[in-house]
Structure 1
């Protein structure tokens, strides 16, 4: 009697991808809670409106461009165009660092406007929301550093695209999250 076995592994999500999606869901819930609290708290008497720093707008363009370079890096990796992959990973890393630097510049602009942490609830929420996003981006930059170092390491040859897919998914997520936060802050402040 012949038994037919069906391989279901193709329909399963990689465990690391599943873990990443659970993490993304948790991060989404955290930011949903923070932005909801922002909406509720803005009706307080001491709420102060503020102008978003221009550096936040520039950082948005940098983040969008870095998503494009990382998408191209993943495509190059899948095509085994390793030279192109290395240069695109390095470009994404540099753009990620520029994004973080522009966020620091943006916070400096806020302090120069007299909007220091601890003075007004509106500013505190801004610092918490944008600061938490910055922490998540910084985590992504650390992974980009590791991935770039691995890309340039000639001794290690790994042709699994899973790590590149993971950082790509995460990086696109923090980019989309940043655009959401920027639009939210523009519309609700």
Structure 2
């Protein structure tokens, strides 16, 4: 009987991770691989020649700032959830959603400015890559806005609170990732246009 107790005492606890966090990180890794392949293809194609250089629309600078503000709001939302400040939690998530939506509108305006300068999806590969990279990011940002809507609804139903932070943590992780991804793309496109 004492040997059985010794065996029980020597069992190490199994490490576990929340399934939603695991899925989020798998999705993030997939997106990183997608954009790594696209930026690599961009560099390879650029080196082949026949590449039109262009100025980035000024609104892309502003949209980058808008997205950074949305990331700050998500950080504040997560802090508000930890302290059970439900009013601020809802306000910050709604603000992050609003700034995210403004970013998408600004991206569209940037695309129209590019077209006014003669940079199109079809034509020179530089324009094609620009639209594809920014369009892929916009698509993923839309998925982030959907995640924000679910978090906002959960906040209104008080399902997000200091004892239940999984949803806001997953939402915040994904949103911050999308913001960092845009900053990377923006700097990449500025440097390698």
In the alignment of these two chains, the number of paired residues is: 186
The match for 1:4 is: 9
- Which of 46, 49, 66 pairs up with 2:50? 46
CA RMSD of aligned residues (A): 1.7
Q: Which has the larger radius of gyration?
A: 2
- Which of 110, 116, 128 pairs up with 1:106? 110
Displacement over 3 Å in runs of 4+: 1-9, 156-159
C-alpha deviation, 1:32, in angstroms: 0.7
1:22-47 alpha-carbon deviations (Å, 9 max, x no partner)? 11111111111111111110133421
C-alpha deviation, 1:158, in angstroms: 4.9
Q: Structure 1 stretch 126-135 or stretch 35-44: which is displaced more?
A: 35-44
**Whole-angstrom distance in 2 between the partners of 1:157 and 1:129:** 36
Any residues of structure 2 matched to 1:14-29 within 5 Å, and which? Answer: 14-29=18-33
TM value normalised by structure 1: 0.92
SS in 2 for 1:42: helix
TM value normalised by structure 2: 0.90
Say if 1:183 and 1:140 are closer, same or farther in 2 by CA, change over 3 A: same
- Point out where structure 1 has 5 or more consecutive residues left out of the alignment: none
The match for 1:118 is: 122
The match for 2:62 is: 58
Check whether the contact 2:60–2:106 (CA below 8 A) recurs between aligned residues: yes
